Chain A
Amino acid sequence: MSIGEDIIFEYLHMEIVNVVAGREGIHNKDLIVSKLEKMGHRVGQGMIDRFTKDSPRFKDELDIMKFICKDFWTAVFKKQVDNLRTNHQGVYVLLDKKFRLLTHLSSEKEYVEIAPKFIAFSCGLIRGALSNFGLISIVTADVNSLPECRFQVQIHR
Chain B
Amino acid sequence: MAVCVAVISKENSPLFIKTNSNENELNFHFTVHTSLDVVEEKISPGAGANKNNDTRELYLGLLYPTEDYRVYGYVTNTKIKFVIVVESSNTTLRDNEIRSMFRKLHSAYVDMVCNPFYEPGQTINSKSFDTIVKSMMIQEM
Contact = CB atoms under 8 A, between A and B. Distances in A.
Is A–B contact present in the complex under a CB 8 A cutoff?
A: yes
Interface of A: 42, 45-46, 48-50, 52-53, 55-60, 132-134
A58 B110 contact: no
Contact of A52 (B10, B43, B77, B120): B77
A57 B113 contact: no
Nearest to A134: B79
Interface in B1-49: 10, 43, 45
Contacts of B110: 49-50, 53
A100 to B, nearest CB: 22
B57 A57 contact: yes
A57 B78 CA distance: 9
B45 to A, nearest CB: 8
A57 B45 CA distance: 11
B114 A50 contact: yes
Contacts of A134: 10, 78-79
B58 interface: yes
A86 B36 CA distance: 34
A56 B56 contact: yes
Contacts of A50: 110, 114
B126 interface: no
Contacts of B120: 45, 132
Contacts, number: 46
Nearest to A58: B77
A121 to B, nearest CB: 15
A77 to B, nearest CB: 20
B99 interface: no
B55 interface: yes
B114 A55 contact: no
B100 interface: no
Given A46-B113, A50-B110, A56 B78 contact: no
B23 to A, nearest CB: 34
Contacts of A56: 55-58
A58 B43 CA distance: 11
Contacts of A45: 113, 120
Nearest to A45: B120
